[in-house]
Chain A
Amino acid sequence: MLRFIALRLVKAAVILIAIVTLNFFLIHAAPGDPAAVMAGEAGAADEIFLQQLKEQFGLDKPLLTQLGIYLAGVVQLDLGFSYRQQMPVAELIWDRLPATLLLTTAAFVISLVLGTLAGVLASARVGKWSDTLISTVALLFYATPLYWAALMAVLLFSVQLNWLPGFGYETVGGNYTGFARVLDIAQHLILPASTLGLFFMAVYMRMTRASMLEVSTLDFVKTARAKGLKPGLIQRRHIFRNAMLPVVTLAGLQAGQLVGGAVLTETVFAWPGIGRLMFDALAQRDYNVLLGVFFVSAAMVLLFNLVTDILYRVVDPRIRAS
């Protein structure tokens, strides 16, 4: 087992370095660099000023040297410095991590719980009007552009009804503490988390419904029925548990992406998370921040994969044996 983990860790490290290298070249292929953007914003740029900025960012060195310097840093877990924001990249990401995790985890839970529930309900009433209704709504959620849904949600719940705050992580200047602050953040979380959850909610619903229907035709369910078990019990104990396997796999995939943030949702709702950090960094060609976010996201996906594989081996003896 230890040998397996060690081998996987080495593999993961190699993949991570490859990802960083690929991203490095991709980012540098985009037109413009941080020095040009900053000089542009200053409203006055001459050769000396640009040269100063380039030296400061290390952009005057050959590309491969820049890559070498960056990789040498990454190996020592140093993600570099954002000259634009005058802060170490790791600190910038660390600052934004709680907000992003809160948003994506809330959206994950909302979509998983509500989506699965709706799928079970629909499968229990196949062909009836409630099934049609749930399926249609799910299709609508699936097809609605996130950006549009977000703006409509703000318009309805924030501007028209005035029920919920339309943006932000908490009431700026509210100076809430303790439970009042938790409540305040929760209120701000409802709209972005639900909007972000819509798409996956629809996916979980469709998958649960299809899976439930498939399992319900299998022999062991027939046997259960023949034994005279109550339909509710068969639904819960026999069908649901087995039907959940593909849903859990999907949830595992979604969980790997939690750290990457949600660019659109975070932008519309002014949510101070990693998605926005990444988007701003992209617009400003803040190379180190962008590479840093990609590095952390990629590392998280690899980590989740590793954990899943280890769990499989623990749970399923057949995999361990092979």
Chain B
Amino acid sequence: MLKRLASMAAILAVAAGTASAEPVSGGRANVVIQPEPPSLMLGLVQNGPTQMVAGNIYESLLRYDENLEPQPQLAKSWDIAEDGLTYTFHLYDNVKWHDGEPFSADDVVFSADIFLRESHARLRNSLKYVESITAPDANTVVFKLKEPFGPFIGIFEGGTMPIVPKHIYEGTDYKTNPANNTPIGTGPFKFVEWVKGSHILLKKNEDYYVDGLPYLDEIYWHIIPDAASRAVAFETGVVDILPGGSVENFDVGRLTELENTCVTDKGWEFIGPLSWLWLNNNEGPTADKRFRQAVMYAMDREFAKDALWNGLGKVATSPVSSSTRFYTDDVTKYDYNPEKAKELLAEMGYDGTPVRLLPLPYGETWQRWAEAIKQNLEEVGIKVDMVATDVAGWNQKISEWDYDMAFTYLYQYGDPALGVGRTYISSNIAKGSPWNNVEGYKNPKIDELFAAGATAVGKDARQKIYTEAQQILTEDVPVAWLLELGFPTIYRCNVKDLVTTAIGINDGFRDAYIEK
């Protein structure tokens, strides 16, 4: 009974702020998934669409509310030792895998210490701080760290540390295990079928360890490759939920005016997508700090937000997103000021050398945004050549530093040590990845601050370090920050409690229900 009360309290805490009537069981959710995921085995593939579907099949120890405070998932409670070196998780004891086998602390140890160390590049960086992972009993897991790691409590999210079944994967070749095609997790929904190119079907996990959950009977994920057709699918009632990024932004206004249609930009707080222009610090005009500052002043980012993003999101004021921990607005500000931009360009003696601008090949919105920026830059006298690529070509050009300015957006994962430092520290300057320090910015002070920030103990100490880092970076402008992106989730208003956590739709269907 106590346990049940505890779990109910947890659910209420997560669902807080989403006023709703008494939830009702039953019904089907029809959701768009775009693009079709390469695989649903979340332990092996961690891209957006995989996590959106498989986030309902696999789980981790925790989930996070919109203020990024940890909430129970497979762990019903947890203790952190005062020295910040020992994290103890107490697991639910009535959890079963979808194939009926009991789940235990051994699965967590196997996942975190063996499976994911091999397959999960992002988690591997955080696991560097871990000395040991042990299971003193079937329902307890202990992580011991070598040194304190500030964001450690933030790495127990479904996409960051998905728990996979030891009894299926131990001793096998993970990548070719046939079970990858029929994923087995502990989540609120079970995998039923995947008709490639058409749809994915998940059904309610009747043995879910939280009583009464989930409410929905099934979820159909519709695979519709064309953005206009996805909008039509919503208009004609075939689908009820369009996750962020499913339709072109210029269709959002029209769709949200339809009857019984709601929209929210919540649910992205954990990953905190922040967009910017890579500026090549190694060569060309962009190697000059004054040129980079001029770019910041030349861009009308409010216009882009209102005209291209339907007013959703925020103009970025710092390398840290405002929903990420340790954000500060006590930094150099760059308002739209073409005159100031011209002054800076004159001061540096810009000779009109053209710069190559790479739009992000993710659809019409990004193409138009590049057009708008090109116009902004040309108004202050910067000559811009647009370079067209597809996704693979874009990846390669960025990874090989073959650009002057290029659009991108990256996730922050709630903490500067997880998603911010990687872009600016000099040890991350290496060709071959589109996600490291590809602009080539080098500043020993910044290296020192991010190293200290990761291992400092206490919120105040970390805030002080990251405030200083943000101040230096906004002065140096290694990249030109654009917007904290607001991706609209469009859905029928009678679908309730769809977005209740900072991870949004990725783990939203556990709590969602359809009001009759």
Where the two chains meet, the residues of A that have a C-beta atom closer than 8 Å to any C-beta of B are 30-33, 36-50, 56, 83-87, 92, 95-96, 99, 151, 154-155, 158-159, 162, 165-170, 172-173, 267-273, 276-277, 279-280, 283-285
Q: How far is the CA of A48 from the CA of B389 in the complex (A)?
A: 26
**Contact A167–B47 (Cβ < 8 Å):** no
B390 at the interface (CB under 8 A from A): yes
B399 at the interface (CB under 8 A from A): yes
Q: Is the interface of B mostly helix, strand, loop or mixed?
A: mixed
Knowing that A268-B229, A280-B225 are A-B contacts, what are 11 other residue pairs whose CB atoms are under 8 Å apart, sorted by A's residue number?
Answer: A31-B396, A44-B46, A56-B175, A85-B38, A99-B197, A166-B229, A170-B198, A172-B238, A173-B218, A270-B225, A270-B229
Considering only CB atoms, which chain B residue lies closest to A154 in the complex?
B232
Please give me the 6 A-B residue pairs with the lowest Cβ-Cβ distance, nearest first: A32-B392, A272-B197, A44-B122, A41-B47, A49-B121, A31-B393
**Contact A276–B197 (Cβ < 8 Å):** yes
Choice from B28, B394, B433 contacting A173 with Cβ under 8 Å? B28
Considering only CB atoms, which chain A residue lies closest to B44 in the complex?
A86
**Contact B222–A172 (Cβ < 8 Å):** yes
B36 at the interface (CB under 8 A from A): yes
**Contact A37–B232 (Cβ < 8 Å):** no
- Minimum distance in angstroms from B160 CB to a CB of chain A: 10
B516 at the interface (CB under 8 A from A): no
Q: How far is the CA of A267 from the CA of B224 in the complex (A)?
A: 8
User: Which residues on the B side are within 8 Å of A96 (C-beta)?
Assistant: 196-197
B199 at the interface (CB under 8 A from A): yes
B residues 424-440 with Cβ under 8 Å of A? 430, 432-436
**Chain B 189-211 interface 0/1 with A at a Cβ cutoff of 8 Å (1 = within):** 00000011111010000000000
User: Which residues on the A side are within 8 Å of B430 (C-beta)?
Assistant: 47
User: Which residues on the A side are within 8 Å of B410 (C-beta)?
Assistant: 43
- Minimum distance in angstroms from B32 CB to a CB of chain A: 10
Q: How far is the CA of A131 from the CA of B229 in the complex (A)?
A: 36
Where the two chains meet, the residues of B that have a C-beta atom closer than 8 Å to any C-beta of A are 28, 30, 35-36, 38-39, 41, 45-48, 121-122, 124-125, 175-176, 180-181, 195-199, 201, 218, 220, 222-226, 228-229, 232-233, 235-236, 238, 389-397, 399, 410-411, 422, 430, 432-436
Q: How far is the CA of A123 from the CA of B434 in the complex (A)?
A: 61
Q: How far is the CA of A30 from the CA of B392 in the complex (A)?
A: 9
User: Which residues on the B side are within 8 Å of A99 (C-beta)?
Assistant: 197
Q: How far is the CA of A46 from the CA of B223 in the complex (A)?
A: 30
**Contact B235–A32 (Cβ < 8 Å):** no
User: Which residues on the A side are within 8 Å of B396 (C-beta)?
Assistant: 31-33, 36
User: Which residues on the A side are within 8 Å of B195 (C-beta)?
Assistant: 272
**Contact A283–B392 (Cβ < 8 Å):** yes
Q: How far is the CA of A280 from the CA of B35 in the complex (A)?
A: 9
- Minimum distance in angstroms from A203 CB to a CB of chain B: 26
Considering only CB atoms, which chain A residue lies closest to B159 in the complex?
A43
Q: How far is the CA of A303 from the CA of B232 in the complex (A)?
A: 40
30 A-B contact pairs sorted by A residue (CB < 8 Å): A30-B393, A31-B397, A36-B396, A36-B399, A43-B410, A45-B432, A47-B430, A48-B121, A84-B39, A86-B180, A96-B197, A154-B229, A162-B236, A166-B232, A167-B229, A167-B238, A172-B238, A173-B30, A270-B198, A270-B222, A270-B223, A270-B225, A272-B195, A276-B225, A277-B197, A280-B36, A280-B225, A283-B392, A284-B391, A285-B392
- Minimum distance in angstroms from B101 CB to a CB of chain A: 22
**Contact A168–B198 (Cβ < 8 Å):** yes
- Minimum distance in angstroms from B193 CB to a CB of chain A: 11
User: Which residues on the A side are within 8 Å of B175 (C-beta)?
Assistant: 56, 83, 86
Considering only CB atoms, which chain B residue lies closest to A273 in the complex?
B197
Considering only CB atoms, which chain B residue lies closest to A81 in the complex?
B176
Choice from B39, B198, B236 contacting A159 with Cβ under 8 Å? B236
**Contact A283–B391 (Cβ < 8 Å):** yes
Choice from A56, A87, A166, A169 contacting B233 with Cβ under 8 Å? A166
Considering only CB atoms, which chain B residue lies closest to A147 in the complex?
B226
- Minimum distance in angstroms from B94 CB to a CB of chain A: 31
User: Which residues on the B side are within 8 Å of A273 (C-beta)?
Assistant: 197
Do A50 and B393 contact each other (CB < 8 Å), given the known contacts A167-B232, A173-B201? no
User: Which residues on the B side are within 8 Å of A44 (C-beta)?
Assistant: 46, 121-122, 125, 422, 435
**Which of B38, B124, B181, B411 neighbours the largest number of chain A CB atoms within 10 Å of its CB?**
B38
Q: How far is the CA of A170 from the CA of B195 in the complex (A)?
A: 11
- Minimum distance in angstroms from B28 CB to a CB of chain A: 7
Do A46 and B436 contact each other (CB < 8 Å), given the known contacts A30-B392, A31-B393, A84-B38? yes
**Contact B197–A36 (Cβ < 8 Å):** no
Do A47 and B432 contact each other (CB < 8 Å), given the known contacts A30-B393, A154-B229, A284-B392? yes
Q: How far is the CA of A147 from the CA of B222 in the complex (A)?
A: 21
User: Which residues on the B side are within 8 Å of A83 (C-beta)?
Assistant: 175
Q: How far is the CA of A158 from the CA of B218 in the complex (A)?
A: 26
- Minimum distance in angstroms from A153 CB to a CB of chain B: 11
Choice from B35, B45, B238, B393 contacting A42 with Cβ under 8 Å? B45
**Contact B393–A32 (Cβ < 8 Å):** yes
User: Which residues on the B side are within 8 Å of A32 (C-beta)?
Assistant: 390-396
